Amino acid sequence: MSNFIQWWDENKQKETIVVPEGVNAIQVMTIHKSKGLAFNVVMIPFNWEGGKNYSEIWVDASIQTNNLLHNALIKTSRKLENSDFSKEYKKEQELRLLDNLNKLYVATTRSKERLYIYSKEYPKITDSFLRSGKLNSFLYHYNISNTLEIGDSFEKHSMKHKPSLEVFSCSPREKIDWRNLVSLNKSSEKSWSIDSQNSVKDFGKLFHLVLSKVRYREDIDQICLDLYLKGICSKDNRFKLISASKKLLSDSRMQVFFDDKWEVKNEREILTPNGEIYIPDRLLVSDEKTIILDYKTGTPRKQYVNQIIQYSNILQLMGYSNIEKYLIYTNTVKLVHKV
């Protein structure tokens, strides 16, 4: 229960109850939320004032403060009518009236069949009440002391004709287990949790993600900062990633792959004619040759070799020539493996 209360305190402003269309239930919503919708019956409650009874406006206070304060935020009240800020006050009142008229229009045009408006009782002192221009003052002006009814109340009946259904037969089909067709892909960086980054495997995924985004060595700090700000990596792992990435790229065997002479293409999708998608980690293109890099944080495997050869074959079909292929194993003594 305590966990739920904590979750509710953090998320209550964002969560909503969605009532499916057709359910026999009353929907409670703000005028703003109802915009663009329509309902058979609409009830507008008495609390038409809505929000706070005052507003705040920015005014130029240079003259009043001898240029000590150029702008000031003040509360609006009738006292401003005869002040230096009467013009700003009048404009704010006009904007508030326009905003209320817009809300009134939206509220009173949501119903398709019936509209009920509830108003407060009239006050004993009616002068300021009438000048307020509120919905209640309109009813008072027309001497509507109890109930105002426009139109006749009746129950709407309609004949619903069910369309005739065409009957057809289906031949028996082999039963297919959905588990063999549907899988959950958790490789997306958005699905990684900071709480589950303690293992070597999870850190390896983050390290691979950083390398796949780096174009040149000077990009490392900003990339790791972005991952931290997005909640993808923890603060400790951010600095570990910076250290590991800079150490790797400082290796003499890696420097040639991060020279600014290359046109760099990181994780570009390649779509084949048969609909398959391939994503090499890093492509380096120059006038003389093309280099394919694929980063691996585990141990060497034959399938990695076959994969990068497949990348090369696809690039040849696309017109690239003189292609070199390298597997970068970040956890092995032999860092660069030429295929």
Q: Is 44 helix (H, G, I), strand (E, B) or coil?
A: strand
Q: How confident is the model at residue 159 (pLDDT cuts 50, 70, 90)?
A: low
Query: Which tens digit of pLDDT belongs to each residue from 82-93?
Result: 888 888 888 888
Q: How far apart are CA 253 and CA 304, in angstroms?
A: 20
Query: Which tens digit of pLDDT belongs to each residue from 26-82?
Result: 888 888 888 888 888 998 886 565 555 667 878 887 877 777 777 888 787 878 888
Query: Which tens digit of pLDDT belongs to each residue from 302-314?
Result: 888 898 898 988 8
Domain spanning 257-339: CATH 3.40.1080.10 = no
Q: What is the pLDDT of residue 262?
A: 85
Q: Is 214 helix (H, G, I), strand (E, B) or coil?
A: coil
Mind giving me the DSSP string for 161-200? Answer: PPPPPPP----------GGGT------SGGG--GGG--SH
Q: Tell me if 56 sits within 8 A of 74, measured CB to CB.
A: yes
Domain ranges of the chain: 190-250, 257-339
- Strand boundaries in the chain, DSSP class E: 39-44, 56-60, 71-75, 111-117, 263-266, 270-271, 277-278, 282-285, 290-296, 323-329, 336-338
Mind giving me the DSSP string for 127-143? Answer: HHHHHTT-HHHHHHHTT
Q: State which of 15-19, 125-129, 241-245, 251-255 shows the largest mean pLDDT.
A: 241-245
Q: What is the pLDDT of residue 202?
A: 75
Q: Please tell me whether the overall predicted TM-score, pTM, comes out greater than 0.75 for this model.
A: no
